[in-house]
Amino acid sequence: MLDSIDILKRNTLSVTESRKAILDLFIDTDGALAHADIEKNISNDFDRVTVYRTLQTFFENGIIHQIPTTDNTVLYALCKDKCEAGHHHDEHVHFICNLCDKTICLDEVTVPQVKLPKGFKPLQKAMVVKGICAECKN
């Protein structure tokens, strides 16, 4: 089981209330979170600025990764063990449900290779699929 304190220590980050709370929220959430989601769902009230800085720190340390969106937000989701700072292994597909609006990391589904035109050198790739998730299908 994932433990927020473990994760922080493993990344040599000091263990503070806000970091624990935000990390716990990620652990408890089966999906991605935007800044606004965190503000809305966090138990204790932390300063908005703290949330920004915490997300930034987590991202820089490879604890969370970003998911591209088309709505002026950035979504973040927990990285799996293989992620490291600066070298994310988050090339899995992300699924956004049109009904429940959740964004789910399909960790087991890797982004397929794609043949690019001559001269293009791919370094990272991201894939986002929208549709109906397994929960809402029922």
Partner DNA sequence: GTAACTGCAAAATATTTGCATCCTT
Partner DNA sequence: AAGGATGCAAATATTTTGCAGTTAC
Choose the stretch contacting a copy of itself; rule: CB under 8 A; options: 15-23, 48-56, 78-86, 116-124: 116-124
Nearer to DNA, 56 or 98 (CB): 56
Measured CA to CA in angstroms, residue 90 lies from 15, 23, 33, 40, 110 at distances of 25, 18, 16, 26, 9
Please give the residues from 82 up to 101 whose contact with a copy of itself meets the rule CB under 8 A.
93, 95, 98
Q: Which of 40, 72, 86, 87 binds a copy of itself (CB under 8 A)?
A: 72
Residue 131 touches a copy of itself, criterion: CB under 8 A: yes
What does 13 interact with, of DNA, a copy of itself, none (CB < 5 to 8 A by kind)?
DNA
User: 3-class DSSP state for residue 96?
Assistant: strand
> How far apart, in Å, are the Cα atoms of 37 and each of 5, 75, 80, 111, 115?
22, 9, 21, 26, 36
Count of residues of this chain found to bind a copy of itself when the rule CB under 8 A is applied? 41
- Binding-site partner at residue 30 among a copy of itself, DNA, none, CB < 5 to 8 Å by type: none
Q: Are 23 and 4 in contact (CB under 8 A)?
A: yes
